[in-house]
Amino acid sequence: MFKLEHKEALVLLQIIEANSFGGKDIEMIAKLIGKLRREFKKTAPRPDVDVTDGDGWVDGGDYDGKK
């Protein structure tokens, strides 16, 4: 197993998605794309601002739209 940086995962996803593959390769490519997308999300830059403290926090309502 190897770790990818955010930009590396993005480049690999773009290369794979821009090409076409034979029928026998589709299942393996689909699994690979899934793994790359998970790695892409894990390595995404995180904001430096904590929105859960002070004025950044917003109280939500119930699922039916009522507060």
- Where exactly are the structural domains of the chain? 21-45
pLDDT score, position 64: 60
3-class SS shares of the chain: helix, strand, coil, % to 5: 50, 0, 50
For residue range 9-29, list pLDDT tens digits in order.
Answer: 888 888 888 887 778 888 888
- What is the residue type of 3? K
Predicted structure pTM score? 0.52
Which of 36, 32, 28 lies closest to 7, judged by CA? 36
d(CA 8, CA 43): 10
- Tell me the pLDDT of the chain averaged across its residues: 76
